[in-house]
Structures are given as C-alpha cells and as structure tokens.
Structure 1
C-alpha cells in the first residue's frame, strides 16, 4: 500500500489520506511538545518555510508513547505547537508509533526504513522519515539528528523536479 492512501486524521479531527502530498518530498516526524527534543520544532518549521514552495512538507504526528511527553489532546497539542514553537506545518491527530496499536503509516515507515541493528521500533520522539516524491522512504533519522542537518538531503530530493 502506498503511504498516500493510508487513512490519517488531521489535528482538527478530519479524516483524510496523504494523497494531497503525492509528488512532494516529505519529512514525517513523531512529535511531542514536552520532550527535550521539542526545540526541534523550530528547525522543522524553518525547513518547511524554506522549501514548502518547492514541493516539500513536514508532517507532524504527535505521540505520547515515550514517557507521556505528549499528554494533551489534539486541541491542546495544536495550541502548544503554535504558541510555543510557531508551528504552522501540517499536524495530525495524536497516534501510537509502536506496538499493536501503532498507526498503519508508522508501521509502513518502520518496515521500509529500519533503525539501528535492523530494529523496526521507534526509540523516542522526533524520529524522522524522509520520503521521496513517489512515497518511498529514503532515510530514517534518529531523534538526536537536528533538522538543519537534513537540509542537503532534502535539497537533493527536490532537485530532480527543478532540473526536469
């Protein structure tokens, strides 16, 4: 199944798919507003602002599975992201990324891009998946990887369309 056809729910509760992102380069991230890595929201927003007009989007999926560092409901999460971090990139409804209740999107992402020692499990908040325009996971990045360090790889995925 293509990631574009997987059902998702926006942070405002609307049922949809990622179909509207088909043809774009995506950075899909499991987020948490109370996490020590939460300052990365600003770096993610900067990437989004810089490249959104070139066919790039950051998609944030809040998750409370790691030390309950995302304790709020969707409305509280949206407000915290906007007020505390200036986020206006697309956010989706709070989900699980590991275990039997893991969201199908993250099941597919972790199947396509495994972590250290081939592990599928996501170890912490702010694990990032870089997805090409065709919906294929190009690379998985650890939570410690700062968004700015992904810029060159994002640019290389955006280039083919610009060069065509």
Structure 2
C-alpha cells in the first residue's frame, strides 16, 4: 500500500508546483495586480494621440535630420527655452494645407511628454510643411530657419 501512494503523492506534488509556477509567471508577465484604474497606457494608441495644439504641453523637442546618405543627426531643445516656445507657436498655430507627403520630408520633430508619449511630426524644409497623419499643415512661421539656428548652435 505504501508503494502505491508514494508515486501518487509525488504526481500530485508535481502538479501543485507546476500550477503555482504557472500562476506566478502569468501574474508577473501580464502586470495584472488586481487593481483597476482609469489611467491610459502611454504606449497604447489612445495614450499617444496628441494633436498639434498639445505641443506646448511637451517637456522637450527632439529634431531628427535625415541626410541623403542614410545618416541621422539629432538635436534636443529644452522645454523652458525661447527656441522651444518658437517651435511650439509655429506648430500650434499651423493651418491645414493641400498636397501629399513626399520625399522632401527629411526632418522629424518629436515633442516628448511627461507620460513618455510623443507627438511626431515629419517636416519638409523645402516646402515648409508639417505632416500629421495623412494631413499636411503650414506652420505659422517658417521652421527651417529655427532648425538652422539649432543646428548652428550645436555645431559650435
């Protein structure tokens, strides 16, 4: 009788250990701690949905410049600077424009927010146009010279 119960106890113990391990792994990989909140996940599409008017709420701006040879330069503009405010005003007050996005959009303006979400706006220096989704916008002031000023400041 002892010999029959021993393998049965080992099998039951094995299944208890495996079940416990699976529960723990699933709990920690899904991040579900049982608390429901109304917060928006910043990595979801809903959390990243920012409009042009939200640019002023960003903490900083990163300008990515793509050259013709596949290289990328990046410049960061702090949220408390005059330069940042100039970019915000140009983007916030932009007017919708006609046309389509093309290869001339070699700049990317990335406004970064405190919740780790971003507003990413491709920019065409030749056409002075911003792209937001499928729509084009003309900034209220020419962003090209602003970018040139930032590039010049970093080149020194």
TM-score, normalised on structure 1? 0.27
When Rg is computed on C-alpha atoms for both structures, the one with the higher figure is 2
